[in-house]
């Protein structure tokens, strides 16, 4: 839902693998900011395959865009960036969750350790939200939706799924708008959620007034 206290705007773009979420994020960023865009990459080149993906992703972006590579403490880095741009595109929250897990992998074998990791991830999300709260910029965050597939076989996989799901929910609760990508098509999830809530409220009021028996 939107927050009237926001100085800027926060747009969350969710989708599965190859759903078109990154492409839509870039199109939206270009529409809002043209060349005045800061692209924030959270990916780390851990192997040749990932290095190839990062290279292809760089080639797909406008040359005039500036790039900030920050796999951890991303929101803090954006807030400290000199001459913050009209639009900030973060791609993606999925990898940020993965980076937090991998950086603290030794702690996942205890409940206290998992709680500490969850707190660190919550801080990452809150730092991103504060970028929109404290700066006059359009913040666009791309993230994966992994809650619609099979349950991961490993405890690490299940923890990743849970942390990403919670992070997405926390981000969506403060977002100005949230889109869900299906086969390259953006669906305005915020508008749909508002419509459903409005219908539910109307049904509730009608029932209380006796219009519905």
**Placement of tokens 């099979």 in the chain:** 150
Q: How far apart are CA 102 and CA 96, in angstroms?
A: 10
- Is the separation of the CB atoms in 40 and 87 below 8 Å? no
Note if the bond before 120 is cis, omega within 30 degrees.
Answer: no
Write out the catalytic residue numbers.
Answer: 57
- Is the separation of the CB atoms in 66 and 38 below 8 Å? yes
Give the residue from 68, 56, 62, 57 showing the smallest Cα distance to 34: 62
35, 95, 138, 186, 199 from 177: Cα distances, Å: 22, 21, 11, 12, 20
Q: How far apart are CA 190 and CA 119, in angstroms?
A: 26
CA torsion sign, 151 to 154 to 155 to 161? negative
């Amino acid at each position: 839902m939107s927050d009237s206290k926001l100085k800027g705007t926060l747009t969350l773009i969710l989708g599965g693998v190859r759903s078109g979420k990154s492409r839509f994020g870039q199109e939206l960023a270009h529409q809002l900011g043209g060349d005045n865009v800061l692209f924030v990459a959270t990916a780390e080149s851990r192997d040749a395959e990932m290095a190839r993906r990062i290279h292809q992703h760089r080639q797909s972006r406008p040359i005039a865009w500036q790039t900030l590579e920050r796999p951890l403490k991303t929101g803090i880095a954006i807030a400290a960036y000199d001459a913050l741009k009209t639009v900030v595109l973060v791609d993606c929250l999925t990898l940020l969750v993965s980076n937090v897990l991998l950086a603290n992998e030794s702690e996942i074998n205890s409940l206290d350790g998992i709680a500490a990791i969850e707190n660190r991830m919550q801080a990452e999300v809150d730092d991103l939200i504060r970028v929109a709260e404290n700066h006059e910029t359009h913040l666009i965050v791309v993230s994966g939706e992994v809650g619609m597939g099979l349950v991961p076989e490993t405890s690490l996989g299940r923890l990743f799924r849970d942390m990403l799901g919670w992070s997405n929910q926390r981000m969506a609760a403060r977002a100005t708008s949230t889109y869900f990508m299906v086969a390259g098509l953006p669906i305005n999830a915020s508008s749909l959620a508002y419509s459903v809530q409005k219908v539910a409220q109307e049904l509730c009021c009608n029932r209380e007034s006796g219009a519905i028996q």
